[in-house]
Amino acid sequence: MPNIYVALLHYPVMNKNGDVIESAITNLDLHDISRAAKTYGVKGYYVATRLVDQVKLARRIIGHWTNGAGADYNPARRRALELIRMAESLEDIVQHIAGQENVQPKTVATCARKFDDAVSYDKMRELMRDGKPHLLVFGTAWGLAQETIRQADYILEPIAGRTGYNHLSVRSAASIILDRLIGR
Amino acid sequence: MPNIYVALLHYPVMNKNGDVIESAITNLDLHDISRAAKTYGVKGYYVATRLVDQVKLARRIIGHWTNGAGADYNPARRRALELIRMAESLEDIVQHIAGQENVQPKTVATCARKFDDAVSYDKMRELMRDGKPHLLVFGTAWGLAQETIRQADYILEPIAGRTGYNHLSVRSAASIILDRLIGR
């Protein structure tokens, strides 16, 4: 089983003009990505925001499904949302994983745009076979800030569909990328 | 380019006890699946419900992004949501496609459970190479009713992750299935 973690950042991400912003949490990002993470054996799903109110909102949603009425109503959902850890920043997430794994995870930035030094899915599957921790980093809004992408150990190539249209939701992109990297 | 359509049914689908129910429309089912459909060159995305109020709600959401303020704000989103057609039933959808294609589409049911006669992704890719219309049918709630699955021309094998956990959202499942069947 590959040693993979997922991070969803709400800062620093871009708006449609390319400005760096802090985005709001979307309920279904918590549900859909945790369910996909559980399906593919991801070890932890980190959701990062610096906004105290947003952390509170996210914890309330997660609590409903992991300890509240939702946990009884839908135990499968509970098992997925239990993977979620709230964090303040990508740096926090990297440190938390390093504390668990006794080694820094390699960070893998995802982006809808093509970078010259982007790594293919086949190549990334191969790199991940070393068993060391890898952290797939996803951005909300219009995607991860340039600087965050540039600082990652790897940049994953964008998902090519069949049309040149490249505006998948982060929920769809995360699902497809997990399937391509971990699916049989 | 494969000749593929997508249908999302809100009836007849199952609740967690296996009863046949009519489910409610989820806003992000419209967005995420239309964006994935557009990415992979799907020719039409049909959303079926028999509930008049739900049709009205869906048309209002779609209208906002295709003709309203959303269309100016995010033209890429407009191009995706323009793929959506509201319908009353799977039969209506099949007839509508038949009217456009001059041949009935082959229906492909999707389900998280494994059927003995399920078709693999490789086999389905091959079948779709004949260029004839194929309609991928997705169910909301706890999935398509047994009878609807049984009446389909094909049943697609479930998405196997790495863990036996098979509770993906319909948005994730549709995205992964389009990538597996149409992605390069």
Asked if residue B182 has pLDDT above 90, the reply is: yes
Average pLDDT per run of 10 along chain A, which is 184 residues long? 95 97 98 98 98 97 96 96 98 98 98 96 97 98 98 97 94 98 92
pLDDT for the residue numbered B170: 98
CB contact under 8 A, B165 and A36: no
Of A28, A176, A182, the CB nearest to B179: A176
pLDDT score of A43: 98
Domain ranges of chain A: 4-182
Residues 23-62 of A with CB under 8 A from B: 28, 31-32, 35-36, 38-41
- Taking an 8 Å cut-off on Cβ atoms, the answer to whether A165 and B16 are in contact is no
Coil/strand/helix, residue A43: coil
Tens digit of pLDDT for each residue in B83-115?
Answer: 999 999 999 999 999 999 999 999 999 999 999
DSSP characters for A78-98? HHHHTTEEEES-HHHHHHHHH
**Interatomic CA distance for residues A35 and B150, integer angstroms:** 27
In chain B, residues with a C-beta closer than 8 Å to the C-beta of A32 are 168-169, 171-172
B109-126 per-position pLDDT tens digit: 999 999 999 999 999 999
Q: pLDDT-derived band of residue B180, with 50, 70 and 90 as boundaries? A: very high
Q: How far away is chain B from the Cα of A111, in angstroms, using its nearest Cα?
A: 15
Say what the pLDDT of residue A81 is.
Answer: 98
pLDDT at site B1: 80
Query: Quick check: B1 contacting A, CB < 8 Å?
Result: yes
d(CA A49, CA A56): 11
Report how far residue B181's alpha carbon sits from residue B66's, in angstroms, rounded to the nearest whole number. 28
Q: How confident is the model at residue A184, as a pLDDT?
A: 79
The answer to whether the CB atoms of A35 and B167 lie below 8 A apart is: yes
**Is A175–B168 a contact, with Cβ atoms under 8 angstroms apart?**
yes
Please list every residue in chain B whose beta carbon sits closer than 8 Å to the beta carbon of residue A34.
none
d(CA A173, CA A159): 7
Residue of B nearest to A166 (CA): B39
| Residue A143 per-residue DSSP state | -
Q: Looking at the domain that runs over B4-182, which CATH code has it been given?
A: 3.40.1280.10
Q: Is A159 on the interface with B (CB under 8 A)?
A: yes
Of A39, A168, A180, the CB nearest to B39: A168
When CB atoms are compared, the residue of A31, A79, A176 closest to B176 is A176
**Are A35 and B80 in contact (CB < 8 Å)?**
no
**Which of chain A's residues have a Cβ under 8 Å away from the Cβ of B175?**
168, 171-173, 175-176
Residues paired with B48 in a beta bridge: B9, B87
Strand ranges inside B27-83, DSSP E:
44-48
Q: Is B72 on the interface with A (CB under 8 A)?
A: no
- Stated pTM of the model: 0.98
Reported confidence tier of residue B184, pLDDT bands at 50, 70, 90: confident
